[in-house]
Amino acid sequence: MTETLTVPGFQHRTVLLDEAVDALNLEGARASGTYIDGTFGRGGHSRLLLSRLSDSGRLFAFDKDPQAIATAEAVGDPRFAIVHDSFATMHDALAARGVNQVDGILLDLGISSPQVDDASRGFSFRQDGPLDMRMDTTRGMSAAEWIATAPEQQLEKVIRDYGEERYAFQIAKAIVARRAIEPISGTRQLAAIVADAVKTREKGKDPATRTFQAVRIFINKELEDLEAGLSAAYAMLAPGARMSVISFHSLEDRMVKQFFASKVKVAQPDRRLPIRAVDLPQPLMKLIAKIKPSDEEVDANPRARSAVLRVAERLPGEAA
């Protein structure tokens, strides 16, 4: 189900709202637990989580984006706290607040609609804006800064690996040729350079889609954060606690799927060794669900189209 949060300015329609929160199983005593929303955005999932918590429940949320933080600071619920940092830091950030174990974690990956729709953030090739693309505008390098200085081979690798773009070589070459003539500082400018370099067209897809996805993933270290975030989240889950992760493209979804699989199918010793079945390494997680948005949700919110929710539960077993 999609929900629209009405805030002044840009709106975000939360994807798989009920599905991701229902999966955390907040019934009974679990409503008094401690939970993490690693990607606050405009707070759609957080507000539903808070509505399901008892008075003694707690919710910690994270976001990199100062505008998301401003929205979160207006929540004004004593059970809720917001951290302006990557969810990859959740373990240390919450340990500093005396929390080492939680009863459920939600990650709704990628960017929010306000980030895409606000041309001044530089995420969109559909409208002209400065080539920024940082979720956290208070630190790090903008896309324009990176594109101005990156070696051609790095541009090519990022565009190929993170955009799954087969014209990565031609695009990197075109970027390097253009930046020798003029700075590449605008979204439409980059989109036009890419469109010239991409020789075939994918149906219903702007030729700049893959390159913009790649640059955004690189600038925001999205896959590094996801890898670190999944490990941190797993380490914080109490036995019986669940993790709901919504991803929006195949690179993310593959990482989530493989991470869960590595906890479900733990390495077994050589079968010829005399080890009793009871002493064999046990699964550390069990898979609960893989859910895609309904046709109705996709009709109402086309950005939900590529979403996949995966849910897994921590089992009592100890990591090897």
What beta strand segments (E) does 136-265 contain? 237-247
Any contact of residue 64 with ligand SAM (CB under 6 A)?
Answer: yes
Stretch that binds ligand SAM, among 86-94, 168-176, 181-189, 259-267 (CB under 6 A): 86-94
Among 12, 121, 249, 310, binds ligand SAM (CB under 6 A): 12
Any contact of residue 60 with ligand SAM (CB under 6 A)?
Answer: no
Among 19, 22, 63, 103, binds ligand SAM (CB under 6 A): 63
| Minimal CB distance residue for ligand SAM | 41
Any contact of residue 251 with ligand SAM (CB under 6 A)?
Answer: no
Among 225, 253, 297, 313, binds ligand SAM (CB under 6 A): 225
Any contact of residue 39 with ligand SAM (CB under 6 A)?
Answer: yes
Any contact of residue 35 with ligand SAM (CB under 6 A)?
Answer: no
DSSP 83-96: EES-GGGHHHHHHT
Start-to-end CA distance of the chain, whole Å, equals 38
Query: How many residues of this chain bind ligand SAM (CB under 6 A)?
Result: 23
Using the minimum distance from each CB to ligand SAM, give the nearer residue, 41 or 163. Answer: 41
Q: How far is the CB of 307 from ligand SAM (least distance, A)?
A: 9
Q: Rounded distance, CA 127 to CA 120, Å? A: 9
**CB-CB neighbours of 164 under 10 Å:** 14
Residue 76: which residues within 8 A CB-CB, separation 6 or more?
A: none
Site string for ligand SAM, 168-187 (x = CB under 6 A): --------------------
Q: What tokens were used for 50?
A: 């808070």
**CB-CB neighbours of 80 under 10 Å:** 21
> Cα 242 vs. chain centroid, distance in angstroms?
17
Q: Rounded distance, CA 235 to CA 144, Å? A: 36
Q: Rounded distance, CA 238 to CA 253, Å? A: 24
Task: State the residues that interact with ligand SAM by CB under 6 A.
Answer: 12, 14, 38-39, 41-45, 62-65, 68, 86-88, 108, 110-112, 135, 225
